[in-house]
Amino acid sequence: MRVLLEDGFSIEKGTGIGRYTQSLANELGRRPEVEVFPPPAREFIRKIRPMGARRVVYAAWLETGFQRQVRKLAPDLIHFTNHLVPRARKSGARYVVTIHDLTAWRFPEALPSFYRQYNRIVVPRAVKLADLVLCPSDAVRNEVISHFDLKPALVRTAWNADSKLPELSAQAQEEISSRFRKNLGIQKPFVLFVGTLEWRKNVTTLVEAFARVAKEADLQLVLAGRFGYGFPEIEAAIQRQGCRERYVLTGYVSDEELSMLYTMAELFAYPSRYEGFGIPLVEAMSFGLPIVASRIPASEEVAREAALYYDDPEDASALAEQILILLGNSTLGSELGSRGRRRAELFRWEQVIQMYLDAYQSCLGRN
C-alpha cells in the first residue's frame, strides 16, 4: 500500500495538525506493508508572506506542482490531513480527507472572519471529492454525517494519538523546575491548562472560576500555550480578578517543559466550548493527572470516567466547585489519575494506527 500524506504546511508550522501528520507518517513507516511518502517538497512557498498570500499560492500549487509529483510517485492513496484538496483529480489515487472539527459552522465566532469563510469553502469541497472522510472522534463523525448529509459508510473515526512527551531525568526535572520558578514565577502548587489561549477553549471562564478557587486555596493557575484568536478578552479577564500574581502565562513551551508542567500540576482543567478531539486530555491522562472538564461530546469520548465534568461550559461557579471538590478529595484525585493512565493506553499510536490502516484498506476496496 503506497500512501502519500499532504498536510497543507502544518508540519512546517509546528501546529497540532502538523504534529499529528508527522506522528502518523512515523507510525505508518514502521509497517512493512506500507510505503509512506511524506508531504512533497514545496520550498518556495514557505518563503511567501503574508500567510494569506501563501494560502493562495499553495492552492495553485496543489493544482499544478503537486499533481505532477503525484503522477511521479504513483501512490495508491493520498491522505489530506488538513482538509484542502485539489479541485481536479489527475491520477488514479484514492482521496482520504481528515475533517478535524466543524468549528466554522458550530462556533463561527471562534474564528477570524477570513479563516471562517475559507473553511466554509474548502471543507465542503474536500468532503465532496473525498473517497473517504476521517474524523478524530465519533462526535465529529456524527456532525459531519449530519451536516453534509453523507452516507455513514463514507465517514470513519480514526482517533488522534498520544504525542509521546519525553520522560525526564531527575536532573532535567530539577533544572526545568528551577527555571520555571525563576522565569515564570511558578511559586505555588498549580492548576494546569494546556492549549491555544483562544475563545474556543473557553479560557476566560477558567480565569473567572480560578479567582473563586484562589479565595479558598493557595494555588496558581498556569496557562500553557500560544496566544490565539480572542486572547485580549482572556488578558482583560485576568486583569479584572485582582490577583494577577496567581496567573502564569507561559506562552509556547517545549515538549520537555510541557512534560514538567504535567508532572508538577495538581490537576488539569479543560473547559472547552467545543473540541474535535483534545490531545491535552490524553497527555494529562498519561501523566495520571486528575481532570476537570466541560461536558462536551468530544471530551467525554476521550476522557470517559477519567474526568470530573461540569455541565455548562460557561458556568464559572460550577467549574470552580468541581475544582475545589477535586482539590479537597485526594482519594477521588488518585482514582481519576489511575483511570486516566489506563484510558491513555488506548490512545497510543501503536493502538490507534490500526484504525487508519483499516480505513485505508476500506478506501482501496481491500479486506
Spatial CA neighbour of 76 closest among 62, 91, 94, 88: 94
pLDDT per residue as tens, the chain (367 positions): 999 999 887 656 556 788 888 899 999 999 999 999 988 877 788 788 887 788 788 889 999 999 999 999 999 999 999 888 998 888 999 999 999 999 999 999 999 998 899 899 999 999 999 999 999 999 999 999 999 999 999 999 999 998 789 999 999 999 999 999 999 999 999 999 999 999 999 999 999 999 999 999 999 999 999 999 999 999 999 999 989 999 999 999 999 999 999 999 999 999 999 999 999 999 999 999 999 999 999 999 999 999 999 999 999 999 999 999 999 999 999 999 999 999 999 999 999 999 999 999 999 997 5
Q: In 215-278, which residue ranges form alpha helices assigned H by DSSP?
A: 231-240, 255-264
CA geometry: angle at 248 spanning 247 and 249, to 5°? 120
Domains of the chain: 2-161+349-363 (3.40.50.2000), 170-347 (3.40.50.2000)
**CA 145 centroid distance within chain:** 21
Retrieve residue 21's grid coordinates: 501528520
Q: Which three cell numbers stand for residue 349?
A: 499510536
**Cell 468549528 appears where?**
103
Q: 3-state SS of the chain: helix, strand, coil percent to 5? A: 55, 15, 30
